[in-house]
Each structure stands twice: as structure tokens, then as C-alpha cells.
Amino acid sequence: MTEIAAKKLVRFGLSANGSQCLVEFEKEDGATGRLDFPSTQLDETIGLLLQVKQLFAERFQASDQRSVLVAERVGVLVQPDAVVMDFMVGGAPISFAIPPEMAVQLMQYLQQQFANPAPATS
């Protein structure tokens, strides 16, 4: 694996034909580096970056703090073998599939929490 040491991200975008995602960054020595990957791998790349974000939060932030992403939109598709939830976070689609049994447990938990909301603290 090649290590990419970036001082800061400079810009990002797509190639003219949309086939490549491009990221330019400033290296420690001031030179400009470039990372590109097929745009068909964008979802996988976002997933990996979210995993890195979670690892960073677990290692370097206080244990009582959590890294939380807030979804802008949520979609649910129920199928016989899985429940698929699509979240839009910061313009990036993130999908999760869980077994129907787990979805039922989640639904019951949420119903219980909304039926008995915790008192507000000030």
C-alpha cells in the first residue's frame, strides 16, 4: 500500500467524461500530489473513508464522544431476505442491508423510544 501524506486537500472533482474521481492535495514539502480512481468505485471509497473516520474517533477522541453522521434523507426498501436502508449524508449515498429480524427489533426499539421520550434537559 502506498502512503499518501497530505498537508491539506486542495480540490476534488470528476474528469471531463466522468470516468475518474480526482483529488489534489498539498504535500508536506509544498508540492502538489494527485489521487485518482474510477468513479464506479466512489461508493466504496466513501465507505472506506467513513471507516477511517470511525477508527480515528475511536483512537484519538475522548471515549465519551462519538462520531455521528446526520442523514439528510433516508429511504427504506423491504425485501423478503433483507431490509435495505439508503441514507444521503453530505451528498453521498450510503446503503445498509440488515436481516428482517434485526429490522423488526430496530422498529420495536424506535417505537418504544418515541412512545416514551426521555425528559428534556436544560
Q: Annotate 18-49 with three-state secondary structure.
A: CCEEEEEEEECCCCEEEEEEEHHHHHHHHHHH
pLDDT higher than 90, residue 105:
yes
- Indicate whether 55 and 26 sit together in one domain: yes
Residue 73, phi then psi, degrees to nearest 5: -145, 150
- Indicate whether 83 and 56 sit together in one domain: no
- pLDDT computed for residue 50 by the predictor: 79
- pLDDT computed for residue 2 by the predictor: 66
- Indicate whether 16 and 39 sit together in one domain: yes
Closest by CA position to 73, among listed 88, 84, 85: 88
In a domain, 82, yes or no: yes
- For residue range 89-101, list pLDDT tens digits in order: 777 778 889 999 9
Q: Which domain holds residue 96?
A: 73-115
Sheet holding 92-98, edge to edge: 73-78, 83-89, 92-98
pTM: 0.48
- For residue range 30-76, list pLDDT tens digits in order: 889 888 999 998 888 887 887 787 777 777 776 556 667 778 889 99
- Indicate whether 49 and 83 sit together in one domain: no
Closest by CA position to 95, among listed 107, 113, 79, 111: 79
Separation CA 109–CA 105 (nearest Å): 6
- Indicate whether 88 and 56 sit together in one domain: no
How many domains are there within the chain?
A: 2
Q: Which helix (H) or strand (E) holds 52?
A: helix 42-60
In a domain, 65, yes or no: no
- Indicate whether 80 and 110 sit together in one domain: yes
| Count of other CB atoms within 10 angstroms of residue 83 | 19
- pLDDT computed for residue 76 by the predictor: 92
In a domain, 120, yes or no: no
pLDDT higher than 70, residue 103:
yes
